[in-house]
Structure 1
């Protein structure tokens, strides 16, 4: 493989795909980005945005890496799914993480908990391959560069992070505003706050208003910096929980849809403060549950998942997974995907 395309339709895709871009360029490959205007402003000077179908054809990518659940079949190259998050179990399996849409040739899974179900689906459907690689987004978490920014304060106070799911019926964001206003002003902890970029603008403004000496609000492109800096996460039902937990750091959840042993789940915002204190004491049973969960969802701690994704893609391109069946037609879905990509890449 000598060139590849990174397909980033949302801001959250940048930290997922950037480690792949770095690994590909390190291997001597040419890399291009396809992004909408809402994401383009966040690209770095060395990240080449392709603005037309002609530019994509000139790059001639052998593979398209995608964090969203769709990609246009008309784009050249094998279609590789690297996922936008962990399986947060917001929906039933056939409507959530394991839902197939017929777009992808290869699924690069994060760990045993997702590999096994996708391997079952691959045997049933026969049109895609599965490789357990770990998640590229977490490479900088486990192997940060020497110049990686730190959001930790120097006064030694614990750092709490707050994040919420975008799914309104599961989100704690509105319920937590008043509680966070008290906790962030108290000064015994530092707070890092974020919301999904698609959240209501008024709600985001309310969270920005919580900024002060002990609290900062960051957009999702700084998520990895927040994950590295925080000692404890406060959340609800979001895949961010797993991104944090793989570091073996404790998580407090508010009304999680399916609480697990590694979470300290509470029913009301008023109980969050005490749960944070309990989490920061690192009880043995909780820490063992964290270790067991991390081993199931993402056992890779070497910061080299991107290299494994590239190797799996090379194997796909050279026929290493055997002959795959034709993808399902899904004409309506394909038409929608082609229409949407034409808006990003006019001829």
Structure 2
């Protein structure tokens, strides 16, 4: 009998995380279905199976259910596996793992599939402390496809602008005028993408208007691998998407990054953005070494087999630890709130 898996999908950023994993599952002759939570947009392809209700998931009875967010419904069947939606880069200025939300243990998961030393080391400490989950360093599912060969479409420099949604950190309101000017003045192509939680529609419309008016601007609703591949430099603030771009050995310019370092060309004034991009396009050797070192610290593997390691980890947990380690905490109040949210009491 083929093994079955479910993707617990809450936001649009989950699609590029899960799809390489889906490919690996299918390559093994196994099956996978998607459960879309709440307001998550339906971006499924015709050959992708959707489970519409909690009862559908229960009837499907997966071996494991994957989540790339912080929450998963405890009453769903299967091993609960966290595969993360980004890297622990201290977006909010955290100076230690103990204060980084990436490492919050809420009592929902049986397994954490960590990406590299930056996440594995502290999660292993948490595993020893709590004892109700296991940690496997597998690499991140999303990046398997990043290391395939590609050819850039043209020689025109392309800037990918990506921003976080966090209030007080996002650069979107601050840089809109600067980007608008550079679109008109520089012979660069632009790709503009925004976190799905950024909900300032008036601001987003200003950026969309640039794509409507200028042929060198593309507005990207959901950033794709192609957008990374076809871009030469990223302009950002403090989003974890920075690291994804760096794994392709490309430089990043940031505006007021909360954890600046030698791997970034960080600026603190809008007037410095243009020169920083010009510098990044020259790919200084010292900068690119820092970029490479930073990427390796956060992502352990670049062999395109992270998804296979995740599935192997699920098999190992199922064979050696399921039902044999300490039980997860009761979490009665949290469980009540989740059930009440769904009005599901079975």
2:224 is paired with a residue whose SS is: helix
Secondary structure, counterpart of 1:289 in structure 2: helix
Q: Distance in 2 between matches of 1:307 and 1:26?
A: 10
Change (3 A) 1:297 1:321: farther
**Equivalents in 1 of 2:259, 2:291: separation in Å?**
15
Which residue does 1:201 correspond to in 2? 201
**Matches of residues 110-259 of structure 1 in structure 2 within 5 Å?**
110-143=115-148, 152-154=152-154, 156-199=155-198, 200-211=200-211, 212-220=214-222, 222-259=223-260
1:133-158: per-residue Cα shift (whole Å, max 9, x none)? 111111121237x9xxx8x543x111
Higher RCO, 1 or 2 (CA under 8 Å, sep at least 6)? 1
Change over 3 Å in CA distance of 1:38–1:225 after alignment to 2: farther
Distance 2:249 2:164 in 1: 21
Structure 1 ranges of 4+ moved more than 6 A: none
Q: CA RMSD in A?
A: 2.0
Gapped regions of structure 1 (runs ≥ 5): none
Counterpart contact for 2:91–2:240, Cα < 8 Å: no
1-side partners of 2:323 and 2:129: how far apart? 15
Cα distance in structure 2, aligned partners of 1:36 and 1:299? 31
Q: Deviations over 1:57-80 (max 9, x none)?
A: 221101010001000000000100
Q: Specify the SS of the correspondent of 2:55.
A: helix
Q: Aligned-pair distance for 1:186?
A: 2.4
More deviation in 57-66 or 86-95? 86-95
Superposed CA deviations along residues 293-315 of structure 1, whole A, max 9, x for unmatched, are 11101131122111111111110
- TM (norm. structure 1) is 0.92
Query: Is the CA contact (8 Å cut-off) linking 2:90 and 2:100 kept in structure 1?
Result: no
TM-score (norm 2): 0.92
Task: State the Cα deviation string for residues 164-190 of structure 1 (Å, max 9, x = none).
Answer: 111011110000000000111224111
- CA distance, structure 2, for counterparts of residue 57 and residue 322 of structure 1: 19
What's the CA shift string for 1:290-346, capped at 9, x where partnerless? 111111011311221111111111101111589321111222222223344x37x89
